[in-house]
Amino acid sequence: MNIFSAIIAFENIHEVRRLCHWGPIIALTVIAVCSSMAILDSIIWYWPLDTTGGSVNFIMLINWTVLILYNYFNAMFVGPGYIPLGWKPENQQDTMYLQFCRVCQGYKAPRSHHCRKCNRCVMKMDHHCPWINNCCGHFNHAYFTSFLLLAPLGCIHAAFIFVMTMYTQLYDRISFGWSSVRIDMSAARRVHNPIMPFSLAAFAATLFALGLALGTTIAVGMLFFIQMKVIVRNKTSIEAWIEEKAKDRIQYYQTGEEFIFPYDLGSCWENVKQVFTWSGSPEGDGIEWPVNEKCHQHTLTIEQLKQKADKRERSVQYRVVEDYNGACCPLRKGLNTFIRSPCTEEPRIKLFKGETILATRGTKWWMYGDKVLDEEQTKAGVRVRGWFPRRCVEKCHYDSANNSTVSEEKKDK
Q: Helix, strand, or coil here: 166? A: helix
Whole-number Cα distances in Å, 374 to 185, 360, 384, 396, 407 = 75, 19, 12, 18, 13
Question: What's the rounded Cα separation, in Å, for the pair 280 and 272?
Answer: 13
Question: What's the rounded Cα separation, in Å, for the pair 258 and 57?
Answer: 55
Q: Could you give the residue numbers annotated as active site?
A: 129
The values of phi and psi at residue 246, to 5°, are -65, -45
Task: Dump the DSSP string for 63-127.
Answer: HHHHHHHHHHHHHHHT-S-BPPTT---SSGGGGGGS-EETTTTEEPPTT-EEETTTTEEETT--E
The values of phi and psi at residue 395, to 5°, are -70, 140
Amino acid at 134: N
Residue 41 near residue 213, CB atoms below 8 Å: no
Q: Helix, strand, or coil here: 394? A: strand
Question: What's the rounded Cα separation, in Å, for the pair 199 and 207?
Answer: 12
